[in-house]
Amino acid sequence: MKEYISPIARLINQFTKLPSVGAKTAERYAYKILDMNDAQVEEFAKTLIDTKKNVKLCSVCGNFTETDPCKICQIRDKSIICVVKDARDVLALEKINEFKGVYHCLGGVLNPMDNIGPNDLRIKQLLNRLDAKVKEVIVATNPTVEGEATALYLAKLIKPLGIRVSCLAQGISLGSEIEYTDHATLSQALENRREI
Ligand SMILES: [Zn+2]
Protein backbone atom coordinates (compact mmCIF):
# COMPACT_ATOMS: atom_id res chain seq x y z
CA MET A 1 0.00 0.00 0.00
CA LYS A 2 2.92 2.33 -0.70
CA GLU A 3 0.89 4.70 -2.85
CA TYR A 4 -1.37 5.79 0.05
CA ILE A 5 -0.36 8.41 2.61
CA SER A 6 -0.11 6.69 5.95
CA PRO A 7 -3.44 7.70 7.63
CA ILE A 8 -5.33 6.40 4.60
CA ALA A 9 -3.24 3.24 4.46
CA ARG A 10 -4.04 2.63 8.13
CA LEU A 11 -7.76 3.14 7.57
CA ILE A 12 -7.77 0.79 4.58
CA ASN A 13 -5.94 -1.76 6.69
CA GLN A 14 -8.67 -1.55 9.36
CA PHE A 15 -11.43 -2.16 6.83
CA THR A 16 -9.66 -5.22 5.39
CA LYS A 17 -10.12 -6.83 8.83
CA LEU A 18 -13.87 -7.11 8.11
CA PRO A 19 -15.25 -10.28 6.51
CA SER A 20 -15.57 -10.25 2.71
CA VAL A 21 -13.79 -6.89 2.42
CA GLY A 22 -10.89 -7.03 -0.01
CA ALA A 23 -8.36 -4.30 -0.79
CA LYS A 24 -10.58 -2.57 -3.37
CA THR A 25 -13.67 -2.42 -1.18
CA ALA A 26 -11.55 -1.27 1.77
CA GLU A 27 -10.22 1.56 -0.37
CA ARG A 28 -13.76 2.59 -1.37
CA TYR A 29 -14.82 2.62 2.29
CA ALA A 30 -11.78 4.71 3.26
CA TYR A 31 -12.52 7.33 0.60
CA LYS A 32 -16.17 7.38 1.67
CA ILE A 33 -15.06 8.21 5.21
CA LEU A 34 -12.91 11.04 3.86
CA ASP A 35 -15.96 12.37 1.97
CA MET A 36 -18.05 12.53 5.14
CA ASN A 37 -18.16 15.68 7.24
CA ASP A 38 -16.64 15.70 10.74
CA ALA A 39 -19.98 15.10 12.51
CA GLN A 40 -20.76 12.07 10.37
CA VAL A 41 -17.34 10.54 10.98
CA GLU A 42 -17.66 11.15 14.72
CA GLU A 43 -21.09 9.53 14.75
CA PHE A 44 -19.69 6.53 12.86
CA ALA A 45 -16.73 6.12 15.22
CA LYS A 46 -18.89 6.65 18.30
CA THR A 47 -21.33 3.97 17.16
CA LEU A 48 -18.50 1.46 16.85
CA ILE A 49 -17.23 2.22 20.34
CA ASP A 50 -20.72 2.36 21.93
CA THR A 51 -21.71 -0.96 20.38
CA LYS A 52 -18.65 -2.67 21.74
CA LYS A 53 -19.16 -1.04 25.14
CA ASN A 54 -22.90 -1.66 25.53
CA VAL A 55 -23.38 -5.08 23.98
CA LYS A 56 -22.43 -7.89 26.35
CA LEU A 57 -22.99 -11.62 26.41
CA CYS A 58 -25.87 -12.77 28.66
CA SER A 59 -24.40 -14.59 31.67
CA VAL A 60 -27.12 -17.26 31.39
CA CYS A 61 -27.39 -18.04 27.67
CA GLY A 62 -24.41 -16.29 26.06
CA ASN A 63 -26.58 -14.26 23.67
CA PHE A 64 -25.79 -10.62 22.80
CA THR A 65 -27.58 -8.33 25.23
CA GLU A 66 -27.73 -4.89 26.80
CA THR A 67 -29.22 -6.21 30.04
CA ASP A 68 -28.09 -9.22 32.06
CA PRO A 69 -29.82 -11.65 31.92
CA CYS A 70 -31.04 -10.93 28.41
CA LYS A 71 -34.72 -10.27 27.62
CA ILE A 72 -35.22 -13.78 26.23
CA CYS A 73 -33.93 -15.37 29.45
CA GLN A 74 -36.11 -13.04 31.50
CA ILE A 75 -39.49 -13.68 29.93
CA ARG A 76 -39.53 -16.86 27.86
CA ASP A 77 -40.45 -20.51 28.45
CA LYS A 78 -37.53 -22.13 30.27
CA SER A 79 -38.76 -25.70 29.80
CA ILE A 80 -37.23 -25.85 26.32
CA ILE A 81 -33.65 -24.85 25.57
CA CYS A 82 -32.27 -24.49 22.06
CA VAL A 83 -28.51 -25.00 21.96
CA VAL A 84 -26.66 -23.09 19.22
CA LYS A 85 -23.09 -22.41 18.24
CA ASP A 86 -23.18 -18.68 18.93
CA ALA A 87 -25.31 -15.55 19.22
CA ARG A 88 -25.59 -15.14 15.44
CA ASP A 89 -27.59 -18.35 15.28
CA VAL A 90 -29.95 -17.00 17.95
CA LEU A 91 -30.67 -14.08 15.66
CA ALA A 92 -31.34 -16.42 12.72
CA LEU A 93 -33.78 -18.49 14.79
CA GLU A 94 -35.46 -15.44 16.30
CA LYS A 95 -36.14 -14.10 12.82
CA ILE A 96 -38.44 -17.04 12.01
CA ASN A 97 -40.44 -16.08 15.11
CA GLU A 98 -41.58 -19.59 16.04
CA PHE A 99 -39.38 -20.75 18.86
CA LYS A 100 -40.81 -19.73 22.24
CA GLY A 101 -38.17 -21.24 24.51
CA VAL A 102 -34.77 -20.00 25.64
CA TYR A 103 -31.32 -20.43 24.11
CA HIS A 104 -27.87 -21.59 25.09
CA CYS A 105 -24.86 -20.43 23.07
CA LEU A 106 -21.94 -22.84 23.23
CA GLY A 107 -19.36 -20.39 21.92
CA GLY A 108 -18.30 -22.83 19.20
CA VAL A 109 -18.46 -26.54 18.44
CA LEU A 110 -16.20 -29.47 19.27
CA ASN A 111 -13.30 -29.55 16.84
CA PRO A 112 -10.35 -31.84 17.58
CA MET A 113 -8.41 -30.42 14.58
CA ASP A 114 -8.47 -26.97 16.19
CA ASN A 115 -8.02 -28.37 19.70
CA ILE A 116 -11.50 -27.26 20.77
CA GLY A 117 -12.69 -29.69 23.44
CA PRO A 118 -15.67 -29.73 25.82
CA ASN A 119 -13.91 -27.48 28.32
CA ASP A 120 -13.50 -24.75 25.71
CA LEU A 121 -17.29 -24.53 25.20
CA ARG A 122 -20.07 -23.44 27.57
CA ILE A 123 -21.14 -27.05 28.18
CA LYS A 124 -20.81 -27.01 31.97
CA GLN A 125 -22.99 -23.89 32.06
CA LEU A 126 -25.59 -25.75 29.97
CA LEU A 127 -25.63 -28.74 32.32
CA ASN A 128 -26.04 -26.37 35.26
CA ARG A 129 -29.22 -25.02 33.68
CA LEU A 130 -30.85 -28.43 33.38
CA ASP A 131 -33.17 -28.49 36.38
CA ALA A 132 -36.52 -30.26 36.77
CA LYS A 133 -38.31 -27.58 34.73
CA VAL A 134 -36.40 -28.44 31.54
CA LYS A 135 -38.33 -30.87 29.34
CA GLU A 136 -36.44 -30.67 26.04
CA VAL A 137 -33.07 -29.60 24.69
CA ILE A 138 -32.94 -28.91 20.95
CA VAL A 139 -29.39 -29.07 19.67
CA ALA A 140 -29.38 -26.72 16.69
CA THR A 141 -25.73 -26.88 15.74
CA ASN A 142 -24.82 -26.59 12.06
CA PRO A 143 -25.10 -29.79 9.98
CA THR A 144 -21.32 -30.12 9.67
CA VAL A 145 -19.18 -33.01 10.94
CA GLU A 146 -18.20 -30.93 13.98
CA GLY A 147 -21.75 -29.68 14.58
CA GLU A 148 -23.16 -33.21 14.51
CA ALA A 149 -20.40 -34.61 16.72
CA THR A 150 -21.20 -31.85 19.21
CA ALA A 151 -24.90 -32.74 19.12
CA LEU A 152 -24.16 -36.42 19.79
CA TYR A 153 -21.78 -35.53 22.60
CA LEU A 154 -24.45 -33.36 24.26
CA ALA A 155 -27.14 -36.02 23.77
CA LYS A 156 -24.97 -38.54 25.62
CA LEU A 157 -24.65 -36.17 28.56
CA ILE A 158 -28.24 -34.96 28.68
CA LYS A 159 -30.42 -37.97 27.85
CA PRO A 160 -29.52 -39.90 31.02
CA LEU A 161 -31.04 -36.96 32.94
CA GLY A 162 -34.44 -37.91 31.52
CA ILE A 163 -34.63 -34.87 29.25
CA ARG A 164 -35.68 -35.23 25.62
CA VAL A 165 -32.85 -34.27 23.25
CA SER A 166 -33.68 -33.41 19.66
CA CYS A 167 -31.93 -31.96 16.64
CA LEU A 168 -33.16 -30.01 13.65
CA ALA A 169 -34.69 -32.09 10.86
CA GLN A 170 -32.85 -32.72 7.63
CA GLY A 171 -33.45 -29.98 5.12
CA ILE A 172 -30.65 -27.66 5.98
CA SER A 173 -28.13 -28.97 3.46
CA LEU A 174 -25.07 -30.72 4.77
CA GLY A 175 -22.20 -28.37 5.50
CA SER A 176 -24.34 -25.25 5.32
CA GLU A 177 -24.92 -22.91 8.21
CA ILE A 178 -28.06 -22.06 10.18
CA GLU A 179 -27.10 -18.40 10.04
CA TYR A 180 -27.49 -18.39 6.25
CA THR A 181 -30.47 -20.75 5.93
CA ASP A 182 -33.71 -19.24 4.60
CA HIS A 183 -36.69 -18.75 6.94
CA ALA A 184 -38.94 -21.44 5.42
CA THR A 185 -36.28 -24.16 5.56
CA LEU A 186 -35.24 -23.27 9.08
CA SER A 187 -38.81 -23.07 10.29
CA GLN A 188 -39.55 -26.51 8.84
CA ALA A 189 -36.34 -27.99 10.27
CA LEU A 190 -37.38 -26.75 13.71
CA GLU A 191 -40.94 -27.98 13.45
CA ASN A 192 -39.92 -31.44 12.21
CA ARG A 193 -37.08 -31.83 14.67
CA ARG A 194 -36.27 -35.42 15.58
CA GLU A 195 -35.15 -37.04 18.78
CA ILE A 196 -31.47 -37.98 18.94
ZN1 LIG B 1 -29.91 -14.88 28.01
> How far does the centroid of ligand 1 lie from the alpha carbon of residue 69, in Å?
5
Task: Report the percentage of the chain scoring pLDDT > 90.
Answer: 75
> How far does the centroid of ligand 1 lie from the alpha carbon of residue 97, in Å?
17
> How far does the centroid of ligand 1 lie from the alpha carbon of residue 11, in Å?
35
Mean pLDDT of the chain: 92
> How far does the centroid of ligand 1 lie from the alpha carbon of residue 61, in Å?
4
- 174: confidence class by pLDDT, cuts 50, 70, 90: low
> How far does the centroid of ligand 1 lie from the alpha carbon of residue 63, in Å?
6
User: Which residues neighbour 122 within 8 Å (Cβ) at sequence distance 6 or greater?
Assistant: 62, 104, 105, 106, 107
> How far does the centroid of ligand 1 lie from the alpha carbon of residue 4, in Å?
45
> How far does the centroid of ligand 1 lie from the alpha carbon of residue 157, in Å?
22
Nearest to 87 by CA among 52, 57, 129, 110: 57
> How far does the centroid of ligand 1 lie from the alpha carbon of residue 15, in Å?
31
Question: Which run of H or E residues covers position 194?
Answer: strand 194-195
> How far does the centroid of ligand 1 lie from the alpha carbon of residue 64, in Å?
8
Contact between 50 and 59 (Cβ < 8 Å): no
Task: Report the percentage of the chain scoring pLDDT > 70.
Answer: 95
- Interval 112-136 mean pLDDT: 94
Domains of the chain and any CATH numbers: 6-54 (1.10.8.420), 60-195 (3.40.1360.10)
> How far does the centroid of ligand 1 lie from the alpha carbon of residue 175, in Å?
27
Q: How far is CA 103 from CA 86, 110, 141, 143, in A?
A: 10, 18, 12, 18
Strands 194-195 and 164-167: antiparallel
> How far does the centroid of ligand 1 lie from the alpha carbon of residue 73, in Å?
4
Residues 11-59: pLDDT tens digits?
999 999 999 999 999 999 999 999 999 999 999 999 999 999 999 999 9
> How far does the centroid of ligand 1 lie from the alpha carbon of residue 65, in Å?
7
Residues 23-34: pLDDT tens digits?
999 999 999 999
Q: What pLDDT is recorded for position 144?
A: 86
Q: What pLDDT is recorded for position 35?
A: 97
Q: What pLDDT is recorded for position 176?
A: 66
Helix (H, G, I), strand (E, B) or coil at 89: helix
> How far does the centroid of ligand 1 lie from the alpha carbon of residue 179, in Å?
19
Range 10-16 contact pairs with CB under 8 angstroms and sequence separation of 24 or more: none
Residues 176-196: pLDDT tens digits?
678 878 888 888 888 888 888
Q: What pLDDT is recorded for position 1?
A: 46
pTM: 0.79
> How far does the centroid of ligand 1 lie from the alpha carbon of residue 59, in Å?
7
